[in-house]
């Protein structure tokens, strides 16, 4: 929100403060102001850039140590629903979310076992900051995970550490290949892609429906682990840098890393260069013929 718009909103809230019971705390980055008293503090100040996670950080402070407190989140964002479903099983008190004219108990949205992996499940299959897998909707995957403890186990350590450990990465790969794409356990990304292509009907063959290659998936899993870490640790006052965790810094902007490998294997690339040198030694007539072909 721009500074000018924030100022207008703050001034408007000051004029209607008398209509509310209790107090209104207005948050601006690292500073929070009680509009009833005009006193500023850092109680609800966060250095986070993600507003969705900031909501849960504020809820964590409100419910800290209070068993009978009720907090209502007014949001229709899916990412907030997912984080609230997770946090509601960790926080004391009662966390509700407003949906149209009703209030939903966040702890009733999914069971405790499912809530433990609901954040990485949501992020790995596509969120505000990650892409999904073509042709694989969230609803069927959620139903699969709800009924399959082994599938849940593959995601249970995602986001526990900022550093993506090899064993966690391998479990995530297995989830993508076996649970999402329903290929055999133990296959590499390349083998899973070949198997998927071979089993497609001729008229429906499409590279969009293939599992990702190993390099592309690596960066996707890095992003999934980083975002899961930030959302699982919703009480963080400041998020760590995403650079090197599926994002890179280019021309002053944070950009998603899609691919880091060369477009061709080195052997084929070298052979292509050799073929190119060979073509350059031919006469003009041969060159024009090759170009036409």
- pLDDT band of residue 293 (cuts 50, 70, 90) is very low
Which stretch, 32-46, 138-152, 263-277, has highest mean pLDDT?
Answer: 138-152
Q: Say what the pLDDT of residue 285 is.
A: 39
Contacts 24+ apart (CB under 8 A), 46-50: 46/237, 46/238, 47/237, 47/238, 47/239, 48/230, 48/236, 48/237, 48/238, 48/239, 49/239, 50/230, 50/239
Name the average pLDDT for the chain: 83
* Tokens representing residue 99 in the block: 């949906």
Rounded Cα distance between 180 and 192, Å, is 12
Of residues 88 and 291, more confidently modeled: 88
Of residues 80 and 30, more confidently modeled: 80
Contacts 24+ apart (CB under 8 A), 217-220: 217/173, 217/176, 217/189, 218/169, 219/246, 219/256, 219/257, 219/258, 219/259, 219/260, 220/124, 220/130, 220/131, 220/246
- pLDDT band of residue 196 (cuts 50, 70, 90) is very high
Task: Please report the DSSP string for 34-51 in residue order.
Answer: ETTT--EESTT----S-H
Residue written as token pair 């294997």: 265
User: What is the share, in percent, of the chain residues with pLDDT greater than 90?
Assistant: 43
Sign for the pseudo-dihedral over CA of 113, 134, 228, 160: positive
Of residues 51 and 68, more confidently modeled: 68
* Other beta carbons less than 10 A from residue 226's beta carbon: 25
Give residue-wise pLDDT tens across range 224-254.
999 999 989 887 878 889 999 999 999 988 8
Give residue-wise pLDDT tens across range 267-288.
665 555 555 554 444 444 334 3
45 within 8 A of 31, measured Cβ to Cβ:
yes
Q: Say what the pLDDT of residue 38 is.
A: 80
Q: Say what the pLDDT of residue 273 is.
A: 56
Q: Say what the pLDDT of residue 3 is.
A: 67
Rounded Cα distance between 186 and 177, Å, is 9
Dihedral over alpha carbons 121, 125, 128, 134 (to 10 degrees): -170
Give residue-wise pLDDT tens across range 168-179.
999 999 999 999
pLDDT at 264 over 70: no
Q: Which range among 156-160, 204-208, 213-217 shows the weakest confidence by mean pLDDT?
A: 204-208
Contacts of residue 156, Cβ cutoff 8 Å, sequence gap at least 6 = 116, 117
């Amino acid at each position: 929100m721009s500074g000018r718009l924030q100022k207008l909103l703050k001034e408007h809230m000051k004029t209607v403060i008398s209509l509310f019971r209790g107090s209104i705390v207005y948050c601006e980055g690292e500073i929070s102001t009680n509009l009833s008293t005009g006193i500023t503090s850092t109680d609800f100040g966060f250095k986070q850039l993600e507003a969705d996670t900031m909501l849960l950080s504020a809820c964590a402070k409100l419910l800290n140590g209070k068993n009978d407190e009720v907090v209502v989140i007014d949001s229709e964002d899916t990412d907030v629903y997912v984080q609230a479903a997770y946090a509601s099983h960790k926080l004391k008190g009662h966390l509700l979310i407003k949906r149209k004219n009703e209030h939903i108990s966040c702890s009733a949205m999914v069971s405790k076992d499912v809530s433990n992996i609901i954040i990485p499940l949501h992020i790995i299959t596509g969120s505000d900051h990650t892409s999904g897998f073509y042709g694989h909707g969230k609803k069927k995957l959620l139903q699969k995970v709800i009924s399959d403890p082994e599938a849940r186990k593959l995601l249970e350590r995602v986001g526990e550490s900022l550093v993506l450990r090899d064993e966690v990465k391998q479990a995530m790969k297995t989830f993508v290949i076996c649970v999402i794409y329903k290929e055999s356990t133990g296959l590499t990304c390349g083998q899973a892609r070949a198997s998927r292509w071979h089993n497609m009907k001729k008229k429906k063959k499409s590279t969009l429906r293939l599992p990702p290659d190993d390099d592309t998936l690596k960066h996707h899993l890095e992003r999934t682990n980083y975002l899961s870490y930030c959302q699982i640790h919703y009480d963080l006052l400041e998020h760590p840098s995403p650079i090197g965790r599926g994002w890179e810094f280019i021309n002053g902007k944070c950009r998603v890393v899609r691919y880091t490998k060369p477009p061709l294997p080195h052997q084929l690339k070298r052979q292509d260069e050799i073929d190119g040198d060979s073509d350059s030694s031919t006469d003009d007539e041969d060159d024009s013929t090759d170009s036409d072909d």
